[in-house]
Amino acid sequence: MFLALLVGALVVVLVLLGLFVFGLRRRLIQRSGGTFDCSLRWNIPDETDTSGKGWSYGVARYNGDRVEWFRVFSYAPRPRHLLERSSIEVVDRRAPEGEEELALLSDAVVLGCRHRGTRLELAMSEDALTGFLAWLEAAPPGQRVNVA
């Protein structure tokens, strides 16, 4: 009986510790500012896919001339993807369709992009989209920027 209580208490402590580390990691990512909620679908085919598969929920952070994208459900301290401003080409913008509406946040807008030849989609709120497009357009003189 005592062993079962000890194991149960240990499991509860480990779950609480894991949740605390998730929260602490998100705080550390947001500490420097310039973050926004952003779902990402990487290396997708050229045709529009509205199946809702492949989306990963994450947090993006502006860092100089690049956006660092972190998975929410990860313990990794480093970003999963780095998007450089000079390499991002905006292809299209659309509202989520079909099963995507269930996979994304309720107010999300899907932005189709190319980054160094890789097709990707970012889903973010309208406010975050405005900030993202303004960040792209605010490139230093001489950088080629393509914003649809």
pLDDT in tens, 71-120: 888 877 789 999 999 889 999 999 998 888 888 888 899 999 999 989 99
Q: Copy the structure tokens of residue 148.
A: 């649809």
Q: Is the pLDDT reported for residue 148 higher than 60?
A: no
Band of pLDDT at residue 147, cut at 50, 70 and 90: low
Residue 66, class by beta-carbon neighbours within 10 Å (0-12 exposed, 13-18 middle, 19+ buried)?
A: middle
The model's pTM is 0.80
Q: Which residue has the tokens 């890789």?
A: 118
Range list of β-strands (E), 12-76:
35-37, 39-42, 58-63, 66-71
pLDDT in tens, 29-84: 777 778 899 999 988 876 666 666 789 999 999 988 899 999 888 877 789 999 99
Residue type, 120: L
